[in-house]
Amino acid sequence: MREIEDRELGQGELNIRYATLDEIDLIADMGKDAIIYSLPKRKMWLASYAKRARREELLTLKTHYRFAKSNIKVLVAELELEGKRRQIAGYLIMMLGVKDSSSGYPHAWIVDLYVREEFRRQGIARELMRVAENIAKRHGYRYIGLTVTSENTPAMNLYLSLGYLEERKIMVKDLKSDERTSGKDERDAS
């Protein structure tokens, strides 16, 4: 377990480090709960499915963690509260060497960032992002990217404050809703 960085927060000492294989189950449980922040309101009906799928997806990290040269980096923010046992307050998952879909240029990609509700607004997400950016720089990457749900205003504000710029928009159409509301079918279009 290699520690990356320690720093004092108002509430206690913050330690950012690489996650251990044993912590992947906890991260998967946290990620399962975090997925609702990635769902737009119109897709909240998918929440239970999304939680199950997200947990399963995060558990696949165990396979990657068995290989030392994995391009997936999982950071945890561990907080020691007033001399008590350390507690994982949040995590960040990053992939290195992801090829940009338009240019093909390799860069780092933030897959997931989550801070437990009781530890939010203390700078933990900002610290996780800063450490991830430093890791990406040390590996020689010029760019780092991420996606964020447009309705997740706190996350959007964080990323903008860190210097991230909007580059693309993902557009989605609900085909079931379109069938109910259009009043037309393909035969009417001609």
Domains of the chain: 3-170 (3.40.630.30)
Residue 78, strand partner residues: 15, 88
**pLDDT at residue 137 greater than cutoff 80:** yes
Gyration radius from the chain CA atoms: 19
pLDDT in tens, 81-133: 776 778 899 999 999 998 888 888 889 999 999 999 999 999 999 999 999 99
CA gap 46, 59 in Å, rounded = 20
Q: Of 9 and 145, which is predicted with more confidence?
A: 145
Q: Of 168 and 42, which is predicted with more confidence?
A: 168
* Model confidence band, residue 158 (pLDDT cutoffs 50, 70, 90): very high
The 3-state DSSP class for residue 121 equals: coil
Q: Collect all residues with Cβ–Cβ distance below 8 Å to 40 and sequence separation of at least 6.
A: 149, 150, 151
Question: For residue 53, how many other CB atoms are within 10 A of its CB?
Answer: 13
Instruction: Give the dihedral of Cα atoms 26, 30, 33, 39; nearest 10 deg.
Output: -130
State residue 3's pLDDT score.
Answer: 47
**pLDDT at residue 152 greater than cutoff 50:** yes
State residue 114's pLDDT score.
Answer: 93
Instruction: Give the single-character DSSP code of 164.
Output: -
Q: Residues 164, 175: contact at Cβ < 8 Å? A: no
State residue 125's pLDDT score.
Answer: 95
CA gap 46, 58 in Å, rounded = 18
Cα dihedral sign, 3-4-7-10 = negative
**pLDDT at residue 22 greater than cutoff 80:** yes
Q: Of 29 and 67, which is predicted with more confidence?
A: 29
Residue 129, strand partner residues: none
* Model confidence band, residue 36 (pLDDT cutoffs 50, 70, 90): low
